Structure formats: C-alpha cells, structure tokens
Structure 1
Amino acid sequence: MIRTILWFIYFWLYLLAIEPTLLRINRLSKIGQISERDRLTARIAMNWARSLIKFAGVKVTITGEEKIPSGTVLFVSNHQGNFDIPLLLGYINKPKAFIAKVELLKIPLIRTWMTHMQCVFMDRSDIRQSLKVINQAANHLKDGYSMVIFPEGTRSKGETLGEFKPGSLKLGLKAGVPIVPITIRGSYKIMEQNGFIIKPAHVEIIISDPIPTSGLTKEQATELPEKVFQRIEQSLAS
C-alpha cells in the first residue's frame, strides 16, 4: 500500500514539475513550430512514462524493436492493464499517439499532454463518435504520426486475449501504413492482479514483424484483423 501511495504522489509531482515545459510546448504550438513541439513532447512523455514504470519497481524486457519500420506505423497491442500506455510510451523508442478511452479527458494535465501527442479519445458506447475518431486517427497517420490502438477495447486483466472489436484496424487500411503487432505479457501483475495495489513485476514487450496494409485485395483486407490477432496470440502463448 505504501508503494502505491508514493507512486501516485510521484505521478502528480512529476506532472507539476514539468508544467513549465508544457507551457513552452503550448507556445510552440501557437507560433507554428510543430516539429519542435512534437520532438519536445515525445521526449518529455517518454522520460515521464519510463520513470513511472521504474518507480513502480517494474522490470521490462523488450524484444524485436529492430523490426519497427522507420516511417509511420500503426501499433496494435493487447491490453492487460492500466500500465500498458506508460509501458509502450516509455519503452518503444518511436514517437507515438494513442487511441484512448474518452474518460482520460477528465484528468487535468494528462489530457493536455495527450492532445499535444495527437492522441484521440474514443467513446465506445457511441458508434457515430467512434467512427469519427477512427477517421481522425487515420488522418493523423497520414500526417506522419504513428498511433497505438488496443483493439480488445478494454483490459483483459490477465493472460487471455479478448476478441478484437469490429473495424478496429480500419484506420491502418485507410492510411495505408504498416501494422506492427505488439504483445504485452505480465502488465496485469503490476496492479490488476492485486486489486488497486501496485506491486513490482516483470513485463515483456514483444514486437512482431510488420504487416503491410497498402495494395491488399479485398479478401486480404478482410483477413487482416485475424492475422494480427494470431500473431499477438502466438507471442502471448510462447
């Protein structure tokens, strides 16, 4: 319990400490220095996320990072727990934004940082809004911002892989960027396995070979979600 309390104190103190940097990022955005804004945002966000993981006592092993293409990609990952976003943000060395749940907009400072990262926020109870967000995310991909999506739609809170939501990978096809499957193993042990108590754990992040989305036949496009699902499932079981 003490570790959990200290972690949340650290979480908010760190955010307050980087508030001057956030003001600078806001200014860069207003004056149109977008590349500098993006560079600074990615660096600060990565450092913050990695520090949160280390403060929680988590050991991270990442394999396959050399498989990530140099250009824009869509990362597709399973979703075991609340720590998945900081894990991917901190330990995959490529600027990225997330398709996140709309509830995160309620958290002060977090929503501002995520907005500068080009994250989009989905309300899965609203089909029309969800479709709009998918189109928005596809446009971000076309503009050169790599994205992360959790197609299960919610945390599995364990080792099982949930069914992918229909249409969750359409933005990859819309943008024509490679899909990079990511498997997270063990993140549920940090919090979900213990109720709301944070405990040290060993987490593995496994990056699979990228899957191209451009030039696919209609049949190949239809099979794409199952192909991504199988790669993640295989890595989860290995």
Structure 2
Amino acid sequence: MTGGDHGPAWRTIPALAAGLLATMIGALAVLLLPLRGERRRRAVDAILRTWARFWCLATGARITVDGLERLERSATYVVVSNHTSNLDPMIHLAVFGGGLRILAKRELFRVPLLGPAMRAAGLVEVDRRNADQGSINRGVAEAFAAGSSLLVYPEGTFSYETGMRPFKSGAFMIAIAHGVPILPVTLRGVDTVWPAHRLRIRRAEVHITIGTPLPTRHLTPQDAPALTSVARTAITEALTTPLPNGH
C-alpha cells in the first residue's frame, strides 16, 4: 500500500460531481463523433484518456509508474490487474493513454447514456452470470483488430480487504486464443483514494507496477491454468515488493 490518509475526505462531493460531469461530456463526445475507422479510434482513445486523467485529477490520485520500459507501445496485450477501487479503470486508462478497451460487466451497459457510449467506444460487455462467449469473442476480436489492448480484472470483482480473490481463467483463454501476451499490472494505493463500496475520496499516492509480459504464442487452452497462476504470482509478489520511494 502506498500513500495513506491525507486528511478528511472533503473532496468526495466535488470530486464525484466533477467526475460525473466529465463522464456525461465524454459519453456525449463518443456518441456524437462523426469519424470512422482509424480516425475514430484515435479520437475515442483521446476522449478516454482525457476522461480518465480528469477523474485522477479530481480525486487527487498522484500516480507513479514503475516498469514502463517493459511496454512495447506498438504491441497489443491482455492487461490483467488486481481490483480494489471504482477508480481502477481510470488509473489504467490514464497510464496506458486511453488505448485500452475494458471487459466490463453488463450492468454498466444498462445505464442510460453511459451504456450506449461504452458500446460506441468499443468496450466489451460480459454477463458474469451467463457469459455469451460468442459475443465476447466478437468484441475482443474487434478491439485487437483496431490495435487496442484489453483490460480485464480476473478476480471478477473487487479484492477482499485481506488479499486478492482467485483469478478466473477467461482473460487467459482470450490471450491464448488470439496469441496476445498477458501483461500483469499491479495497483497499490487506489483503495486509499477511493475504497471499494464506499463514497469517500481522499488525496493519496497511487503506485502502478507494470510486470514482464507473458507470451502466449504456441500455448493451448490446456496451458491456461498455469498461465493464470504465473500472472497471479507476479501481481502478488509486486504487492509485497518495497516501493522505490520506501513506502
């Protein structure tokens, strides 16, 4: 864990108000884009990046990143990460420059304005109770074909306060099916800024560790459990590794 408590959560209401306003503006911008093809993708990336960075600024999340040198900017990844806060997707999008498409739960796509904008932006809908694998595969294939990486939280929901939940295999099956490397990413401190299931926002430091990409070429579905274990171990170890600043 990085950072810590930085005084009372006075910023909760203004941060939520500013973030929700930015979400409405961003959703409308995506829906009203007149562009197509590569120009549209780049414009959507820019909108997502701006939206995410605005949320980070409003909440007071001060981000430091370790391991950027491990990223090949032209490569496509399945990014897997621990999940402790509603702010996690914004942190990821801010760091990766908006070039991510997220595997998101179906409930979010039912929200007026937000749901249509998420579809228009290329986010991939998944029903956690009754997954339509064909629909997921089509959405994932479209994201990869456009040069976007895919962000998945393999725990399926927020982590326990005492540690990560077991990882589901879906992200790893996707990576193997498409021959795309798995990129383990570890978040620390985001739950200090905005704890899961709580409306309390405080300024704090957030640290992201980008792990070593795990190749999937020549792997088969039978290799998914081992790949899942390797990725989870990488994130677990990063969670317990001392940070460069000593926190």
Measure the CA separation in 2 of the matches of 1:59 and 1:177. Answer: 30
Which of 181, 186, 194 is matched with 1:183 structurally?
186
CA contact (8 A) 1:120 1:137 kept: yes
CA gap of 1:16–1:76, structure 2 versus 1, over 3 A, is closer
CA contact (8 A) 1:104 1:111 kept: yes
Measure the CA separation in 1 of the matches of 2:19 and 2:185. Answer: 26
1:219: Cα distance to partner? 6.0
AA paired with 2:80? Answer: V
Matched, 1:120 2:109: no
Measure the CA separation in 1 of the matches of 2:45 and 2:221. Answer: 36
Aligned to 1:136: 138
Aligned to 1:101: 105
AA paired with 2:205? Answer: H
Q: Which has the higher contact order (CA 8 A, sep 6+)?
A: 2
Measure the CA separation in 2 of the matches of 1:125 and 1:190. Answer: 30
AA paired with 1:169? Answer: F
CA gap of 1:194–1:41, structure 2 versus 1, over 3 A, is closer
Superposed counterparts of 1:75-90, under 5 Å:
75-90=79-94
CA contact (8 A) 2:104 2:124 kept: yes
Task: Tell me the TM-score normalised to structure 1 length.
Answer: 0.87
CA contact (8 A) 1:15 1:109 kept: no
Aligned to 1:8: 16
AA paired with 1:200? Answer: R
| 1:53 partner SS | helix
| 2:170 partner SS | coil
Measure the CA separation in 1 of the matches of 2:95 and 2:204. Answer: 15
CA gap of 1:187–1:59, structure 2 versus 1, over 3 A, is same
Which of 211, 214, 226 is matched with 1:211 structurally?
214
Deviates more, 1:11-20 or 1:56-65: 11-20
AA paired with 1:9? Answer: A
CA contact (8 A) 1:50 1:90 kept: yes
CA contact (8 A) 1:99 1:120 kept: yes
CA contact (8 A) 1:189 1:201 kept: yes
Measure the CA separation in 1 of the matches of 2:196 and 2:19. Answer: 21
Measure the CA separation in 2 of the matches of 1:226 and 1:49. Answer: 30
Matched, 1:38 2:46: no
Aligned to 2:232: 229
Aligned to 1:55: 58
Partner deviation per Cα, 1:85-110 (whole Å, 9 max, x = no partner): 10101122361100011111123333
Between the two proteins, the alignment pairs up a number of residues equal to 231
| 1:169 partner SS | helix
| 1:203 partner SS | strand
Higher helix share: 1
CA contact (8 A) 2:101 2:143 kept: no
CA gap of 1:42–1:15, structure 2 versus 1, over 3 A, is same
CA contact (8 A) 2:79 2:182 kept: yes
1:236: Cα distance to partner? 0.9
1:15: Cα distance to partner? 3.7
Q: Which runs of 5+ in 1 are unaligned?
A: none
